[in-house]
Amino acid sequence: MRKFLMATVVLPLAIGQAGVALAQSAQDAQRNANNSQATAELFYMIQQLQGEVRRLQGEVEEQRHQIERLQQQGRDRYIDLDQRILDLSEKIASQPAPEASTSPGSTASAPEARNYRQPSAEERKAYEQIQDLIRNQKKYDEAISRIYEFIDEYPEGDLTVNAYYWLGEVYLVKPQLEQAKQAFTIVATRFADHRKAPDAVYKLGVTHDRLGEKEQARRSMQTVIEDYPSSSAADLARKFLESQNS
């Protein structure tokens, strides 16, 4: 009888504890399942982010290669065109100067102006864009590249001479004095009859002076005064020589 009574007490207790244990196990299983799902989702997100990072790294690397290729092409273009300008200036310098045909009592004067090819609307627009790069945006490297392209596309025109002159001006600002001297020399010798010639000869003298070539600078200034006496460049040349003598 006593055993029966004890069984009736112990059995429900055991069943209750088993129920608690089963509930706890179920909760643990659910928690583990939730943790596993969260871990799986986190892993998936990490994989996606890593894939996106790899894609972006690939795009950055590709763009870097493109930039390096463009920079190398730009350097090659500068070297090629600078050499062409140098060759042209050396060719002009090696030619004997023409004898001036002057009558007794006459004085030296600027060469008679020839008729230069007038620019088309498209050519003028391209030139104005170059001017904007130089004067307003101060993007000198881009301006140099655009000037070279302009000279190649529109040779021997009125604005082509201006382009050579502004090439010298930009190189003078950078400063790349040897290149500036080449550009100004082309205008001063090949296009001596152009309206930009007096300014080019004066700026050639300035460039010589900055290079420490004092005697060449004086000769350039004297040339401006003698060949273009009524020009504003001649006034600047006189002031330069006066400052050197003072």
Give tens-digit pLDDT for 61-119: 777 766 666 555 555 554 455 555 555 544 544 544 444 433 333 344 555 668 899 99
Distance between CA atoms of residues 221 and 215, nearest Å: 10
* pLDDT of amino acid 110: 52
Q: Of 81, 115, 96, whose CA–CA distance to 195 is shortest? A: 115
Buried b (16+ CB within 10 A) or exposed e, 156-174: ebbbbbbbbbbbbbbbbee
The larger pLDDT score, comparing residue 9 to residue 194, is at 194
- Partners of 157 in the beta sheet? 117
Cα torsion 135, 141, 147, 148 to 10°: value is: 170
User: pLDDT by residue (tens digit) across 183-231?
Assistant: 999 999 999 999 999 999 999 999 999 999 999 999 999 999 999 999 9
* pLDDT of amino acid 179: 95
* pLDDT of amino acid 190: 94
Which amino acid belongs to residue 143?
A: A
* pLDDT of amino acid 52: 76
- At 24, the pLDDT band (50, 70, 90 cuts) reads low
Domain spanning 121-245, CATH architecture:
Alpha Horseshoe (1.25)
Domain ranges of the chain: 37-91, 121-245
- At 51, the pLDDT band (50, 70, 90 cuts) reads confident
Instruction: Please check the confidence at residue 141 and state whether its pLDDT lies above 90.
Output: yes
The predicted model scores a pTM of: 0.59
Distance between CA atoms of residues 182 and 148, nearest Å: 14
Q: Which of 86-95, 121-130, 165-174 has the lowest mean pLDDT?
A: 86-95
Instruction: Please check the confidence at residue 236 and state whether its pLDDT lies above 90.
Output: yes
Distance between CA atoms of residues 7 and 9, nearest Å: 5
Q: Of 170, 209, 162, whose CA–CA distance to 186 is shortest? A: 162
Distance between CA atoms of residues 182 and 114, nearest Å: 23
* pLDDT of amino acid 72: 55
Instruction: Please check the confidence at residue 149 and state whether its pLDDT lies above 70.
Output: yes
Neighbours of 74 (CB within 10 A): 14
Measure Cα distances from 82 to 13, 146, 201, 232 in Å.
102, 14, 20, 30
Mean pLDDT over each residue of the chain, to the nearest integer: 78
